[in-house]
């Protein structure tokens, strides 16, 4: 073995375990130990050593009995918005402190059916609302490239755990960029599939018309392994689950595109560059890394074409109306009666609701509930909520116009590299503005991906965003895999991966 266990990716870990070079228990013990040694980075909210080892022992027993499952024995971390039976689920909120789910989320269950062992639950912004992981009620997570900087959010803990080699892969959720942006900030690979590909059953709800699960790992190939296991119809449990067949994502990743040869495996791929993504709002260091990535894709045979997404800027107000509106409705379930925090002292039933909710929810969650309640209230519904939904349709239509002339859209994931802890924590609008490049695909329900393309200012990672048309996750993963076959940006190790 040329590498340490923690340097193996998902696919490599699976094959080492299947070949019995190492047991699932040995891998789990090694990763648990690292996770404890690196605990200061705040990646994990919960490790339950005995539960993880019990799953690993079960995986080893399956291997002994000859079972063949693609991910048998591979430890994976779950963002703490996926409910799990054997680990508490808090969604980063005081409201759900100590909550134990009676069932596993569909995504968790699907991965378990493919042999995955759960390593632990990762830190995140409260109810997945945030872009820096600073809204977690359980403390910040730190960027492994620079511990004084944010890891991005809301799936910040998952990004940190993967980048710091505490785990080879993790689940995340992406409502407005919460997989892609932390993946970019931490120099890893992450993909949000088409809305409806992954079941939302057992995902603590934030904004239901936008929430979507996806994997985060160090390579596109590993993302393909995980995403293939995560996706698929869940028709009885999620009314928005897509009833469409799931293609194999890991098969033929190495093959050139149809009609292309091995020298130019991406020959024929048209990559659209929206001019609004390359405008002055994006920092020079980010642009130069993104362009370096695009130049590699050109060398592989892809052609770059200009496209336009004219309403890009308006994705910000549209999203920050629609998502809080849905959140205000979803979070009304937290009433201190059936589950969640209940205040110790109150006067009557209404006061119990008020006290419990005011104590249980943090400031950003309250801000979004208030904004959402306002835009849905009588007299403002048309002017704000319906207006935002009309703009949402125009944004989705603009993408379809762009896809008439290209196969994939590319640009930066975020306008800057990771910012300093505390820098934007008192200025929510400045954080909203930083989501500009991820929100359009979210509003449209399109699959989007972040792929590392080198380092920008302060030696911090930059992510190239690839956006595909509906149901076309395969082209994203195929393109990213070929980029990673000829570059080593995704193999760079941060300082924070050293024990």
Half-sphere exposure of 466 (CA within 13 A, CB side): 32
x/- binding map, residues 175-194, to other proteins, per CB under 8 A? -------------------x
Q: Binding other proteins by CB under 8 A: which of 29, 366, 416, 493? A: 366
**Interface pick for other proteins out of 235, 279, 284, 486 (rule CB under 8 A):** 235
Select from 113-121, 135-143, 287-295, 357-365 the region that touches other proteins (CB under 8 A).
357-365
Q: Taking the complex as a whole, how short is the minimal distance between the CB of residue 139 and other proteins, in angstroms?
A: 21
- Catalytic residue, chosen from 131, 178, 199, 450, is 178
Smallest separation, CB 413 to other proteins (Å): 20
**In a 3-state reduction of DSSP, which class is residue 328?**
helix
Would residue 178 show up in a list of annotated catalytic residues for this protein? yes
Place of tokens 């968790």: 108
Q: Is 78 in the site for other proteins (CB under 8 A)?
A: no
Comparing CB distances to other proteins, the nearer of 61 and 349 is 349
Of 23, 51, 136, 154, the catalytic one is 154
Q: Tell how far CA 433 is from the center of its chain.
A: 19
Respond yes or no on whether the N-terminal peptide bond of residue 154 is cis (omega within 30° of 0): yes
Q: Is 336 in the site for other proteins (CB under 8 A)?
A: yes
Q: Which of 9, 202, 428, 452 binds other proteins (CB under 8 A)?
A: 428
CB of 233 to other proteins, least distance (A): 11
What would the x/- binding string for other proteins be over residues 378 to 397, using CB under 8 A?
------x-xxxxxxxxx-xx
Residue 476 binding other proteins, by CB under 8 A: no
Residues 6+ apart with CB under 8 A from 404: none
Cross-strand bridge partners of residue 121 = 46, 78
Residues 33 to 62: which contact other proteins by CB under 8 A? none
**Shortest distance (Å) from residue 46 CB to other proteins:** 16
**Among the residue ranges 134-142, 238-246, 256-264, 414-422, the one whose residues contact other proteins (CB under 8 A):** 238-246
Span near other proteins by CB under 8 A; candidates 8-16, 66-74, 332-340, 457-465: 332-340
| Contact status: 207 vs other proteins (CB under 8 A) | no
Q: Rounded to the nearest whole angstrom, what is the least distance from the CB of residue 451 to other proteins in the complex? A: 23
> Which residues in 87-146 contact other proteins (CB under 8 A)?
99-100, 102-103
CA distance 288 to 457: 11
Which pair of structure tokens corresponds to residue 102?
Answer: 């009676």
Q: Is 430 a catalytic residue?
A: no
- Give the interface segment with other proteins, choosing from 5-13, 269-277, 437-445, 458-466 (CB under 8 A): 437-445
Is 328 known to be catalytic? no
Closer Cβ to other proteins, 13 or 444, answer by number? 444
Told to check if 236 binds other proteins by CB under 8 A, we report yes
Distance CA 461, CA 106 (A): 32
**Is residue 320 within the footprint of other proteins (CB under 8 A)?**
yes
Q: Residue 159's Cα: distance from chain center in Å?
A: 8
Contact status: 361 vs other proteins (CB under 8 A): yes
- The widest CA-to-CA distance across the chain, in whole angstroms, is 74
396: exposed, middle or buried (C-beta count within 10 Å: 0-12, 13-18, 19+)? middle
| Residue 443 in contact with other proteins, rule: CB under 8 A | yes
| Closest separation in Å from C-beta 38 to other proteins | 31
Active-site choice (35, 46, 79, 121): 79
Q: Which residues are catalytic?
A: 79, 154, 178
């Amino acid at each position: 073995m040329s590498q340490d266990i923690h340097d193996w990716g998902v696919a490599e870990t699976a094959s080492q375990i299947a070949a019995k070079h190492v047991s699932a228990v040995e891998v789990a013990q090694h990763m648990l130990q690292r996770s404890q040694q690196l605990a200061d980075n705040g990646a994990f909210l919960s490790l339950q050593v005995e539960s993880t080892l019990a799953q690993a022992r079960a995986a080893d027993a399956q291997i002994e009995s000859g079972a063949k499952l693609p991910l048998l024995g591979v430890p994976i971390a779950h963002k703490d918005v996926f409910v799990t039976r054997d680990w508490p689920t808090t969604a980063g909120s005081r409201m759900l402190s100590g909550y134990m789910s009676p069932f596993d989320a569909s995504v968790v269950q699907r991965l378990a059916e493919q042999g995955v062992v759960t390593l632990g639950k990762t830190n995140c912004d409260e109810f997945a609302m945030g872009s820096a992981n600073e809204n977690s009620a359980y403390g910040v997570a730190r960027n492994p490239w620079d511990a004084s900087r944010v890891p991005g959010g809301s799936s910040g803990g998952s990004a940190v755990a993967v980048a710091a080699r505490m785990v080879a892969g993790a689940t995340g959720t992406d409502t407005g960029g919460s997989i892609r942006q932390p993946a970019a900030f931490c120099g890893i690979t992450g993909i949000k599939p088409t809305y409806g590909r992954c079941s939302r059953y057992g995902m603590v709800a934030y904004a239901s018309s936008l929430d979507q699960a996806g994997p985060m790992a160090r390579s596109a190939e590993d993302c393909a392994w995980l995403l293939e296991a995560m996706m698929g119809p869940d028709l009885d449990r999620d009314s928005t689950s897509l009833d469409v067949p799931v293609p194999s994502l890991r098969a033929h990743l190495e093959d050139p595109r149809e009609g292309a040869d091995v020298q130019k495996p991406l020959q024929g791929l048209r990559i659209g560059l929206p001019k609004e993504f390359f405008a002055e709002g994006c920092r020079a260091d980010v642009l130069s890394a993104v362009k370096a990535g695009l130049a590699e894709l050109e060398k592989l045979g892809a052609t770059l074409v200009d496209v336009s997404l004219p309403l890009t800027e308006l994705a910000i107000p549209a999203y920050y109306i629609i998502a809080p509106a849905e959140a205000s409705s979803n979070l009304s379930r937290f009433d201190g009666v059936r589950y969640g925090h209940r205040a110790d002292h109150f006067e009557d039933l209404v006061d119990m609701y008020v006290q419990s909710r005011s104590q249980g929810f943090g400031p950003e969650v309250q801000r979004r509930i208030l904004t959402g309640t306002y835009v849905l209230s009588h007299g403002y519904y048309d002017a704000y909520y319906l207006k935002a939904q009309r703009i949402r349709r125009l944004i989705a239509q603009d993408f379809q116009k762009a896809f008439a002339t290209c196969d994939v859209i590319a640009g930066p994931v975020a306008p800057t590299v990771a910012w300093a802890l505390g820098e934007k924590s008192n200025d929510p609008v400045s954080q909203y503005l930083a989501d500009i490049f991820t929100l359009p695909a979210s509003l449209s329900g399109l699959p989007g991906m972040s792929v590392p393309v080198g380092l920008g200012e302060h030696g911090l990672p930059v992510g190239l965003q690839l956006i595909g048309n509906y149901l076309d996750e395969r082209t994203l993963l195929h393109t990213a895999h070929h980029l990673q076959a000829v570059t080593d940006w995704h193999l760079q190790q941060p300082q924070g991966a050293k024990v």
